């Protein structure tokens, strides 16, 4: 049964357009906001606008009545580009426009679409093209910042999970997945040697993120360094949907890649994140359903301003990984 407040909201807002972040990790993190938006506006037609790169990840969303609109990564760089894009976008009668980016040109899309209500973040000239602006809450998670745009406060029953996927490997195969990039010029990272040495008789799928070079390493040479008591398989995916299919049916994932960790968490897979570049309290996929564990590595090599109290050796990482994965094997 639809609540009275939902009837009122849905009676006013029939069409919504959302400018998603262009950066892929932030785009996947915005899925929590899109679940909240669907909860607030259960019958609205929702149009998502984002860069073409990685747009297939939007197919992980479990909702009907969502429409996707892409543009080339370098296409919207001026007000003229905005107007040209909006003229051909075929998004009509927009009641509500929301920009999840603080870019002025992104905010201009709402004006170009002639949206009645235009919501976004307060920065620079954004207030001239938006009629409702919000301050970015420094130190708060990006999802909590997005939630404020629609005054959403989730309760304990609010669930954030991807649509149901089909397995891409053998259906009865039980395996854990290791995201072995970055490859460091094809050389094996000591971490993987150590982690595999603590596992016995396990099926292990080795993969890289799509942004990595496609296994420039010698696979046979790579495997020669790993514990022969396990079974290994290299997985090459063509897009992020295939990657998500593999991840979704694994027993667990270990990665240091932000996009992979977000996809894994959104698919509900237990995820061990080797973090060496960002603050998880702001960018971690905590709003998704998966069990997560972070190991904060030395930040020095990543050139980050954040400081971490300790560094971890490959042996310490492998011990932590073993303790994490043994709960699911």
pLDDT at 210: 74
Of the pLDDT bands very low, low, confident and very high (cuts 50, 70, 90), residue 101 is very high
Query: In the chain, pLDDT over 90 holds for what percent of residues?
Result: 64
pLDDT at 4: 39
The answer on pLDDT for 17 being more than 70 is: yes
Domain containing 92 — which CATH number?
3.40.50.2000
The answer on pLDDT for 2 being more than 70 is: no
Edge-to-edge strand order for the sheet containing 271-275?
231-235, 203-207, 176-179, 253-255, 271-275, 292-296
The answer to the question of residue 60 being in a domain is: yes
Is residue 304 located within the same domain as residue 187?
A: yes
The answer to the question of residue 162 being in a domain is: no
pLDDT tens digit string along 107-124? 999 999 999 999 999 999
Q: How far apart are CA 221 and CA 217, in angstroms?
A: 8
pLDDT at 220: 80
**Cα dihedral 42, 29, 145, 121 sign:** negative
Rounded mean pLDDT, 204-229: 78
The answer on pLDDT for 264 being more than 60 is: yes
Which range marks the domain in which residue 187 is found? 176-325
Between 242 and 310, where is the model more confident? 242
The answer to the question of residue 40 being in a domain is: yes
The answer to the question of residue 50 being in a domain is: yes
pLDDT at 10: 47
Range ranked top by mean pLDDT from 3-7, 32-36, 309-313: 32-36
Query: In the chain, pLDDT over 70 holds for what percent of residues?
Result: 88
Q: Which residue has the tokens 């029939």?
A: 14
119-157: b (≥16 Cβ within 10 Å) or e: bbbeeeebeebbeebeeeeeeebbbebbbbbbebebeee
Q: Of the residues 108, 132, 148, which one is the last residue of a structural domain? A: 148
Is residue 205 located within the same domain as residue 137?
A: no
CA nearest 56: which of 248, 240, 211, 208?
Answer: 240
Is residue 251 located within the same domain as residue 140?
A: no
The answer to the question of residue 156 being in a domain is: no
pLDDT at 153: 92
Calculate the CA 104 to chain-centre distance: 23
The answer to the question of residue 164 being in a domain is: no
> By mean pLDDT, which of 33-47, 81-95, 123-137, 295-309 is the weakest?
295-309
pLDDT at 190: 80
The answer on pLDDT for 310 being more than 60 is: no
CA atoms within 13 A on the CB side of 103: 18
Is residue 218 located within the same domain as residue 276?
A: yes
The answer to the question of residue 166 being in a domain is: no
Q: How far apart are CA 15 and CA 46, in angstroms?
A: 6
Is residue 144 located within the same domain as residue 185?
A: no
The strand pairing partners of 93, in sequence order, are none
Rounded mean pLDDT, 1-25: 71
């Amino acid at each position: 049964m639809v609540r009275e407040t939902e009837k009122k909201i849905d009676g006013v807002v029939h069409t919504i357009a959302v400018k998603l972040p262009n950066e892929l990790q932030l785009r996947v993190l915005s899925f929590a906001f899109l679940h909240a938006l669907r909860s607030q506006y259960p019958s609205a037609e929702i149009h998502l606008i984002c860069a073409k790169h990685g747009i297939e990840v939007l197919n992980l969303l479990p909702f009907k009545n969502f429409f996707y609109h892409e543009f080339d990564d370098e296409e919207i760089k001026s007000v003229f580009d905005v107007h040209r894009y909006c003229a051909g976008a075929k998004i009509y009668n927009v009641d509500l426009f929301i920009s999840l980016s603080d870019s002025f040109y992104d905010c201009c899309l709402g004006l170009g679409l002639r949206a009645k209500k235009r919501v976004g973040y307060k920065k620079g000239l954004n207030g001239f093209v938006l009629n409702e602006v919000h301050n970015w809450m420094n130190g708060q998670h990006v999802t909590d910042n997005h939630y404020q745009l629609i005054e959403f406060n989730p309760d304990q029953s609010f669930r954030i999970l991807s649509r149901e996927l089909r397995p891409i490997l053998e259906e009865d195969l039980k395996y854990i997945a290791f995201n072995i990039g970055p490859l460091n010029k094809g050389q094996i990272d000591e971490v993987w040697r150590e982690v595999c040495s603590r596992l016995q008789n396990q099926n292990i799928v080795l993969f890289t993120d799509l942004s990595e070079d496609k296994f420039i390493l010698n696979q046979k040479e790579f495997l020669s360094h790993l514990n022969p008591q396990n079974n290994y398989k290299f997985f090459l995916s063509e897009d992020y949907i295939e990657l998500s299919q593999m991840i979704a049916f694994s027993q667990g994932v270990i990665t240091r890649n932000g996009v992979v960790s977000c996809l894994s968490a959104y698919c509900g897979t237990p995820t061990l994140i080797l973090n060496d570049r960002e603050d998880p309290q702001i960018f971690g996929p905590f709003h998704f359903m998966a069990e997560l564990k972070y190991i904060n590595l030395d930040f020095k090599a990543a050139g980050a301003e954040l400081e971490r109290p300790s560094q971890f050796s490959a042996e310490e990482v492998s011990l932590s990984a073993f303790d994490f994965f043994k709960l699911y094997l």
